Amino acid sequence: MSEKAGALAAEVPSARAADDALHDAPVGTFWFTVKLWLARLVLLAVLLGAWEWASGTIIDPFWVSAPSQVLDRLREWIVTGSLWFHLGITLQETIAGFVSGSVAGMALGFLLGRNEFLARVLDPFILSIYSLPKVALAPLFILWFGIGIAAKIVLSAVIVFFLVFYNTYAGVRDADQDLIDVVRLMRGKRRHVLTIAVIPSAMVWVFTGLKIAVPYALIGAVVGEMMASNKGLGHLIEGSAGQFDTAGVFAALLVLMAISTTLHELLNRLERIVLRWKLVNR
């Protein structure tokens, strides 16, 4: 019986997993949370332990370094202060790119979502730029804006822009016409229709776009730094790799991971505040 269930679970992972989680342990209770985190910590310890062990016994540490060496390198960067400097640069680019790209994406998304003719006129233009791999624009931006942080911000913003724009646009188009009519019948002007019916409804989609865009904002900044820069985490990775310092590469990757998950979590919290009404709609 249990084997059968296991085989099924392998076939349809998502549905089965969700089902099992519901039946297995009462999700959300204190002990469930303790168990969950314990399991995660054990898995992390096993992975790190295996890495540490394998490095030097199976694989040459030159290629994979080792957790202890990565930690050493991080400690060194913290002591010399270079970590904070590079981290600060990358964060600055990522956040500036993310914010400007999202604001522009939301603005155009709302504008075109409410103006179908304009949307149709612009559609092929937007689509053709969208279909371009945006990192291919990096050399052009470096040419225009130099090797400072401006080029990275622009690259990051362009990538984020499309993700947020398309989601916002879809969200606006998805707004319930009945709700819009309610506002119109009450003598609501255009701005009332927007603020009362359209924007709150589109926020669900906007947040989906924003959350997808976080790691991409980081991609824009780091790719820019790797191409032409003398600072930032991308430069740190490029520099470490150039000196065959795998520990340095992994240390920088670790920091990138930390940035990305932190930003994602911040957005999650903001979403829980803005979309509070969704939490009760169960």
Partner 1 sequence: MLIEYRALGKRFWKGGKPVQAIDNLSFSVAKGEFVSVVGPSGCGKSTLLNLAAGLMAPTSGEVRYAGEPVRDVNHRVGYMTQKDSLMPWRTVEGNVDLALRIQGVARGERRDRTRHYINLVGLGGFEQHYPGELSGGMRKRVALARLLVYDPETLLMDEPFGALDAQLKMVMHEELLAIRDRTNKTIVFVTHDLTEAVTLSDRVVVLAPRPGRVKLIHEVPLERPRNVFQIRFTPRFGEIFETLWSAIEQDMRKGEEV
| Contacting residues toward partner 1, per CB under 8 A | 176, 178-179, 181-189, 192, 196-197, 200-201, 203, 275, 277-278, 280-282
Nearer to partner 1, 61 or 200 (CB): 200
**250 close to 70: Cβ distance less than 8 angstroms:** yes
- Kindly state the smallest distance separating residue 192's Cβ from partner 1, in Å: 5
51 neighbors 66 (Cβ within 8 angstroms): yes
Residue 244, classed as helix, strand or coil, is coil
Among residues 131 and 281, whose Cβ is nearest to partner 1?
281
HSE-up of residue 59 (Cα within 13 Å, Cβ side): 12
Residues 6+ away with beta carbon under 8 Å from 104: 157, 161, 165
Please state the closest distance from residue 274 (CB atom) to partner 1, in A.
Answer: 9
Q: Residue 200 CB, nearest distance to partner 1 (Å)?
A: 4
Identify which of residues 57 and 281 has a Cβ nearer to partner 1 in the complex. 281
Closer to partner 1 by CB, 75 or 278: give it. Answer: 278
Q: Which is nearer to partner 1, 23 or 191 (CB)?
A: 191
Residue number with CB closer to partner 1 (85 or 277): 277
CB of 258 to partner 1, least distance (A): 33
Instruction: Return the number of the residue (198 or 217) whose C-beta is nearest partner 1.
Output: 198
Where does the chain have alpha helices with state H?
2-11, 13-24, 30-57, 61-64, 67-80, 82-113, 116-130, 138-145, 149-173, 177-185, 190-192, 199-227, 233-242, 246-274, 276-280
Asked if 201 and 174 count as a contact pair (C-beta separation under 8 A), the reply is yes
Phi and psi at residue 66, to the nearest 5°: -160, 155
Rg (CA), the chain: 24
User: Smallest distance from the beta carbon of 176 to partner 1, in angstroms?
Assistant: 8
The minimum distance between CB 102 and partner 1, in angstroms, equals 20
In the complex, least distance from residue 271 CB atom to partner 1, rounded to whole angstroms? 13
Q: Which two three-digit tokens encode residue 18?
A: 């969700």
Q: What whole-number distance in Å separates Cα of residue 193 and Cα of residue 175?
A: 10
